Structure 1
Amino acid sequence: MAAGKGTRMKSALPKVLHKLAGRSLLQHVLNMTSGLAAQRSVVITGHGADEVEAAVAAPQLSFVRQMPQLGTGHAIQQAVPALEGEGTTLILNGDVPLIKQATAQRLIDACEGRALVLLTIHLQDPTGYGRILRDAEGAVLGIKEHKDATPAERAIREGYTGMMAAPTGALKRWVGQLNNNNAQGEYYLTDIVAMAVAEGVPVLGVAAPNETEVLGVNSPVQLADLERRFQREQAHELMEAGVRLADPARFDLRGQLQCGQDVEIDVNCVFEGEVSLGDNVRIGAHCVIRNASIAAGARIHEFTHIDGEKAGVKVGTGALIGPFARLRPGADLGAEVHIGNFVEVKNSSLAKGAKANHLAYLGDATVGERVNYGAGSITANYDGANKHRTEIGADVHVGSNCVLVAPITIGAGATIGGGSTITKPVGAGELSVARGKQVSIAGWSRPLKKR
């Protein structure tokens, strides 16, 4: 169910598209269900339906719309035409992003196409949750929504999470009998519990393993709380696997992170997309790393920004990157490469031992082994319409403040004098200097301001 507006979010963005750990709330739920082997998956949209459907569209998904939104029972009524045959229907909430696959599977297994199974949670303060009503023997009799509950019913601490598994045929029959005779004037899905009891269908309560799995998002405050819970959980798993986090409270993982042995990560680092860190990698404070593979022994110094986008970034064994470096898509750095402060690399490969230590740009370049690329030097790779490539052979020395105008080739062992603008190929072992002749004027006076 993903039709709600989310008024308390105070946002034009549909609630289920707000992000947690880099993915929308709804996408978290859909990713979890991909491992359940469902015959079909139906997303019920409503508020911002076009935007929601475009954001999560996938071949295995179908969509139905709830217009207007008249309650959870009304939402399932819209899905009934898409529920074919018998079996089990699992109902989940698009704004409850952290439910685990194992928990969902427990609901399915308990249902077996014959029982109505409710996911419940015991809370010290279940305000806002429907209360589970049981008889003296503990059998489930029904669910009373919070706003309709009596003071005695509100004292019950077992709440309904909004998620259930139901026999498909019976579910279709039950939701067709719902009415809106309640304080909200809505069609409550929870009313089907009493119908099941009346028919003698078993009604089971399965307790959620923990509160975090069933917490929903209704406000920015709740979203931030759930973000921190999720990040603490991920940090704990990494530390249990041997990763050293300087402070797990200042760590953000918004994708997948694979770590070798003896990896160290300092504070306030953000990892997005697919990132792998080899053995003995050290990540300095305040780094952002997205879609990158960093080999064993590499050191990523503080305030480095690595963004591989779709092309990815590769950092070789023992490389030293940063501080304040930027690696962009297609950067492929060999072993023991040095990329220093305020150096940017895009769509370029640097072979073993190459160095660009200060204030430089390498775009669309192939750089050989042991090249020393001077401070302030750039490859001028764009002519305003097309990108061109620069080839720099092994053991080349490029002086400071040089411009290499692509397409161009610098032969192995060549030297480029500082301050040169190079527009023609340079042969192996040659010294190339291309700059204006120095002129000195004796006794020259600077202009003075008029008073």
Structure 2
Amino acid sequence: MARSCLTIILAAGQGTRMKSALPKVLHPVAGLPMAAHVARTAQAAGSESIAVVIGHGGAEVRQTLSGMLDGATFHEQDGQLGTAHAVLAARDSIAKGYDDVLVMFGDTPLVRPGVMRAARARLAEGASVAVVGFRPADPSGYGRLIERDGELVAIREDREANDEERRIGFCNGGIMAFSGDSILELLNAVGNDNAKGEYYMTDAVEIARSLGRRVVAIEAPVEDVVGVNTRRDLAAVEAIWQHRARCDFLDSGVTMLAPDTVFLHHDTKIEPDAIIEPNVVFGPGVEIKAGARIRSFSYMEGAVVGENAEIGPFARLRPGARLSEKSKVGNFCEVKNSEIGEGAKVNHLTYVGDSVVGPRANLGAGTITCNYDGYGKHLTEIGANAFVGSNTSLVAPVRIGDNAYIASGSVVTDEVPDDAVAFARSRQINKEGLAPKLRARFKAAKEAKKG
């Protein structure tokens, strides 16, 4: 849209029912604070400016969101005196002059951009106010949207509605859009002559009508306007977000064998033809390239998995893990801050940290890179086509050359040149006939303990 737009996010509530020291709007959905989800929606709907109204836990909300919302302004609400009062806390931002002003809630993170674009479109058509409504299965308790001749004439609270109005299924979702040239006039006219003595934003509907302004309602899916007041609500919202994200990936060409068991992060990237097996968890900053296969019970964060690579089952990729094309990290393996070269194999029960593993290298079961000395981390370099035998410890800093072999059970502390074979273990000694004597000694000691 060519129209300018400001979004005001109301984030001042205490959220006492969350029973948490963390301000409610900072509770994460898919790893991102709820208020940041709201801001993303607004930006995707064309809002170039964000104003956040803060109150309870305001310093923490400001500190967290200012690092996520570049250029956002923050406005302190002095007291909890209703939604209209909260919006007017951002008066300075409103007064800068915008064509559209969206008012959204920091604890309602599932609204999609299309809903807000639809509200803006009605403002562009001449409406002064657009209210977002929804149709719940049971409208009891919700304010009803009363329409006449295609316009919204009133929002009637459930306790104040008559029998005919209570039969209306179209309910108030709380989110509203105002034309920039009328919002201050309308909200300044809102009074507090009600049981709670508060200033309600919804009163702007009838005020606008009394001034001859046009007011409309748009309909959003029920799940878009689900708010969070309790931990149960938060879990329900998380489930909806996860379902949407899984469907988006499936529609884009990603295979998920059991989608409901896959848990995604808000910034997860998966390319088409990747295969995600059951019970996989994505932490922050994961990118899966085309054709990669993530086997069951794997966990990843801060990692890139290359084309046609494979991890798991039961693998863990920590931040800085970079897997090249056709590489493999097997079951019960952990990779951290390391590059795994093209076609390289990190097999079962292996830890690779702060390392560079060359193309087609093979790390046998139980290989450990000993990267930490108690004070600092050190680099392990493993060359192309190197073969590291099972149960080997590589004590960093150390380099294993191209095409080198490491004998199983070795503890390697020095460089292994290209094409060399390294043995770093004690020579085996056999004591012929000693086993029966040991068994007799052990048996006698056991009998002595019983006596």
Please report how far the alpha carbon of residue 294 of structure 1 lies from its aligned counterpart in structure 2 after TM superposition. 3.5
Deviations 1:118-152 (A, max 9, x none): 222334422332222345x5643322233444454
2:425 to 435, 438, 449: 435
Pairing 1:74–2:68 present: no
Amino acid at match of 1:306: M
* Shift of residue 242, structure 1, vs aligned partner: 4.0
Greater percentage in strand? 1
Mapped pair 1:117 → 2:126: no
Change (3 A) 1:140 1:394: closer
Distance 1:233 1:167, change over 3 A: same
In the TM superposition, what is the alpha-carbon distance from 1:277 to its structure 2 partner? Answer: 3.4
Distance 1:182 1:407, change over 3 A: same
Q: Work out the CA distance in 1 between the residues paired with 2:251 and 2:372.
A: 47
Whole-Å separation in 1 of the counterparts to 2:87 and 2:214: 21
Paired position in structure 2 for 1:275: 269
> Does structure 2 retain, via aligned residues, the 8 Å contact 1:282–1:297?
yes
- 1:415 corresponds, among 405, 415, 429, to 405
Structure 2 SS opposite 1:386? coil
* Shift, 1:60, TM fit: 2.0
Letter in 1 for 2:399: T
- Equivalent position of 1:265 in the other structure: none
- 1:227 corresponds in structure 2 to 238
1:20 pairs with 2:13:
no
- Quote the Cα distance in structure 1 between the aligned partners of 2:45 and 2:329: 45
Which of the residues 43, 47, 52 maps onto 1:43? 52
Name the CA distance, whole Å, in 2 between partners of 1:416 and 1:138: 79
Matched with 1:200 is 212
Counterpart residue number, 1:127:
140
CA contact (8 A) 1:306 1:313 kept: no
1:2-401 correspondence to structure 2 within 5 Å = 2-38=11-47, 40-57=49-66, 58-84=69-95, 85=97, 87-112=99-124, 115-134=128-147, 137=149, 139-208=151-220, 210-255=221-266, 273-279=267-273, 281-290=274-283, 291-308=285-302, 312-317=303-308, 319-401=309-391
In 2 relative to 1, CA 127–64 (structure 1 residues): closer, same or farther, beyond 3 Å? farther
The answer to whether the 8 A contact 2:261-2:278 is kept is no
How many equivalent pairs are there? 427
Name the CA distance, whole Å, in 2 between partners of 1:138 and 1:369.
Answer: 67
Work out the CA distance in 2 between the residues paired with 1:41 and 1:150. Answer: 39
Moved more, 341-350 or 246-255: 246-255
Aligned-residue offset at 1:233: 3.1
- 1:19 corresponds to which letter in structure 2? P
Q: Distance in 2 between matches of 1:99 and 1:178?
A: 26
Q: Distance in 2 between matches of 1:251 and 1:399?
A: 34
Structure 2 residues not aligned, in runs of 5+: 1-9
State the identity as a percent: 39
Distance 1:62 1:382, change over 3 A: same
SS at match of 1:342: coil
- Call closer, same or farther: CA 1:385–1:191 in 2, change over 3 Å: same
Q: Which has the higher helix share?
A: 2
Alpha carbons of structure 1 residues 69 and 50: separation in structure 2 relative to 1, 3 Å: same
The one-letter code matched in structure 2 to 1:181 is D
- The amino acid of 1:390's aligned partner reads T
Supply the distance in 2 between the matched residues of 1:323 and 1:15 (Cα, whole angstroms). Answer: 36
How far the C-alpha of 1:275 sits from its partner, in A, is 2.3
Q: TM-score, normalised to structure 1's length?
A: 0.85
Aligned AA for 1:91?
V
**Counterpart amino acid of 1:314?**
V
Once residues 249 and 350 of structure 1 are traced to their aligned partners in structure 2, the CA distance between those partners, rounded to angstroms, is 30
Tell me the TM-score normalized by structure 2.
Answer: 0.85
Is the 1:396–1:415 contact (alpha carbons within 8 Å) kept by the matching residues of 2? yes
Q: For residues 422 and 278 of structure 1, what CA distance do their matches in structure 2 show?
A: 41
Amino acid corresponding to residue 158 of structure 1 in structure 2: F
In structure 1, runs of 5+ residues without a counterpart are 256-272
Contact kept? 2:107, 2:228, Cα under 8 Å: yes
- How far 1:86 sits from its partner (Å)? 6.1
- Residues 412 and 142 (structure 1), Cα distance of their counterparts in 2 relative to 1, 3 Å cut: closer
Q: C-alpha separation between the residues in 2 aligned to 1:17 and 1:196?
A: 34
The one-letter amino acid of 1:130's match is: G
RMSD: 2.7
**Matched residue SS, 2:268:** strand
* Secondary structure of the corresponding residue to residue 237 of structure 2: helix
CA gap of 1:221–1:424, structure 2 versus 1, over 3 A, is: closer
Is the 8 Å Cα contact of residues 252 and 272 (structure 2) preserved in structure 1? no
Offset at 1:100? 2.2
CA distance in 1, matches of 2:210, 2:42: 31
- Change in Cα spacing, 1:199 to 1:245, as seen in structure 2 (3 Å) is same
Q: Which amino acid aligns with 2:140?
A: T
CA contact (8 A) 1:314 1:332 kept: yes
8 Å CA contact 2:254, 2:271 repeated in 1: no
With over 3 angstroms needed to count, the CA separation of the structure-2 counterparts of 1:89 and 1:341, relative to structure 1, is: closer
Counterpart contact for 1:148–1:183, Cα < 8 Å: no
The verdict on how the C-alpha distance between 1:73 and 1:342 changes in structure 2, with shifts beyond 3 A counting, is same
Distance in 1 between the 2:335 and 2:261 partners? Answer: 28
Letter in 2 for 1:411: G
